[in-house]
């Protein structure tokens, strides 16, 4: 297939994934912020939402303070924020339009329909309307993903789209960990006590894993288990390990189909091997923050390797 087509498909899936992530971040943050002050920690939950879902420096050039209004505007609608939900959907749709023939009708209809519908939302919403808006965004991505899953041929086009989703997911999960790692460190258990419970469940909510957590661990919420779930648990669809399982599988399919392996296959399987042999205790022992930062760098390297090998 055309390198440009693969590139656009890859980015369509990165941007739709990102839109979903930003929506979930906003949803979880609205919930957290609606708790009585006594249940909240010292930090600014709005600022931390911006830090994990977008670019805090950019935010600060556009707004004086981080509060519900400004962060909602920035993350959901602001055209100057390349990762605002609006821009994610627009960029995804623009990419889709430029490779219209690589998409099935159902996928195009889902994205194009969403883009047309997005224009009909009044950005001046109350909390209830905003929450319905976020639900709508999540539904759009579900429909789009489902359309891809149900209607695409299982060929390189499909595999590149899976790569886009998985690289983006891994990045998103790692970003949450990067911003909130301090909440998961052992000392905070003693310092914050039950206070942090709501921060922890917010993290789980951001990756849609509140229920999953209980099914997997069958015990009350513990910060190191949250880290374990997000980093190492292969059953958890947004964990780093699961994302890399998907990356390795689809990169292998591509390599087999094209009859040639390259740097991206080597990088992805090295990272998966590392995640498979890790223990959460050892990660905490060596420093959670260092681990996450290192992972983000590695993940970016993989993105660059995929681009170099296939998309240019």
Residue 55 contacts residue 83 (beta carbons within 8 Å): yes
Measured CA to CA, the distance from residue 277 to residue 91 in angstroms comes to 37
Residues 142-171 that bind another protein (CB under 8 A): 156, 160
- Residue 94 C-beta: closest distance to another protein, Å: 8
Residues 224-283 that bind another protein (CB under 8 A): 254, 258, 260
Verify binding: residue 207, another protein, rule CB under 8 A.
no
- Residue 101 C-beta: closest distance to another protein, Å: 4
- Residue 143 C-beta: closest distance to another protein, Å: 13
By beta-carbon proximity to another protein, the closer residue of 152 and 288 is 152
Residue 89 contacts residue 143 (beta carbons within 8 Å): no
Measured CA to CA, the distance from residue 24 to residue 205 in angstroms comes to 7
- Residue 137 C-beta: closest distance to another protein, Å: 19
Both tokens assigned to 74: 């920035």
Verify binding: residue 116, another protein, rule CB under 8 A.
yes
By beta-carbon proximity to another protein, the closer residue of 51 and 103 is 103
Verify binding: residue 62, another protein, rule CB under 8 A.
no
Among 130, 181, 295, 310, binds another protein (CB under 8 A): 310
Verify binding: residue 304, another protein, rule CB under 8 A.
no
Verify binding: residue 113, another protein, rule CB under 8 A.
yes
Residue 29 contacts residue 49 (beta carbons within 8 Å): yes
By beta-carbon proximity to another protein, the closer residue of 180 and 250 is 250
By beta-carbon proximity to another protein, the closer residue of 44 and 98 is 98
Measured CA to CA, the distance from residue 293 to residue 71 in angstroms comes to 25
By beta-carbon proximity to another protein, the closer residue of 53 and 157 is 157
Measured CA to CA, the distance from residue 26 to residue 10 in angstroms comes to 25
C-alpha separations of 135 from 25, 41, 125, 147, 151 in Å: 12, 27, 14, 18, 24
Verify binding: residue 312, another protein, rule CB under 8 A.
yes
Verify binding: residue 120, another protein, rule CB under 8 A.
no
Among 43, 62, 67, 100, binds another protein (CB under 8 A): 100
List all residues 6 or more positions away from 216 whose beta carbon is below 8 Å from its beta carbon. Answer: 229, 233, 235, 236
- Residue 310 C-beta: closest distance to another protein, Å: 4
How far is CA 311 from its chain centroid? 22
Neighbours of 150 (CB within 10 A): 10
C-alpha separations of 182 from 74, 168, 227, 284 in Å: 25, 23, 11, 11
Residue 152 contacts residue 104 (beta carbons within 8 Å): yes
Residues that bind another protein (CB under 8 A): 1-6, 94, 97-101, 105, 108-109, 112-113, 116, 156, 160, 254, 258, 260, 310-312
């Amino acid at each position: 297939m055309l390198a440009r087509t693969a590139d656009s498909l890859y980015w369509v899936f990165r941007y739709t994934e990102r839109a979903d992530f930003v929506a979930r971040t906003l949803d979880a943050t609205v919930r957290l912020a609606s708790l009585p002050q006594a249940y909240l920690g010292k930090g600014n939950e709005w600022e931390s939402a911006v830090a994990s879902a977008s670019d805090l420096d950019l935010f600060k050039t556009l707004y004086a303070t981080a509060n519900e209004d400004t962060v909602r505007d920035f993350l959901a609608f602001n055209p100057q924020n390349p990762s605002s939900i609006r821009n994610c959907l627009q960029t995804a749709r623009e990419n889709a339009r430029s490779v219209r023939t690589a998409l099935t009708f159902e996928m195009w209809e889902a994205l194009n329909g969403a883009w047309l519908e997005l224009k009909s939302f009044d950005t001046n919403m109350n909390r209830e309307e905003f929450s319905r808006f976020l639900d709508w965004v999540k539904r759009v991505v579900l429909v789009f993903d489902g359309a891809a899953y149900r209607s695409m041929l299982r060929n390189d086009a499909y595999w590149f789209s899976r790569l886009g989703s998985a690289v983006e997911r891994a990045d998103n999960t790692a970003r949450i960990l990067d911003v909130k790692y301090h909440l998961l460190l052992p000392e905070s258990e003693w310092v914050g006590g039950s206070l942090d419970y709501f921060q922890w469940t917010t993290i789980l909510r951001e990756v849609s894993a509140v229920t999953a957590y209980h099914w997997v661990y069958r015990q009350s919420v513990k910060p190191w288990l949250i880290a374990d779930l997000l980093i190492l648990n292969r059953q958890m669809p947004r964990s780093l390990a699961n994302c890399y399982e998907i990356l390795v599988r689809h990169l292998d399919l591509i390599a087999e189909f094209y009859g040639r392996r390259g740097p991206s296959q080597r990088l992805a399987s090295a990272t998966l091997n590392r995640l498979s042999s890790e223990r959460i205790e050892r990660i905490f022992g060596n420093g959670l923050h260092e681990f996450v930062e290192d992972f983000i760098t590695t993940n970016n390297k993989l993105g660059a390797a995929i681009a170099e090998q296939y998309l240019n």
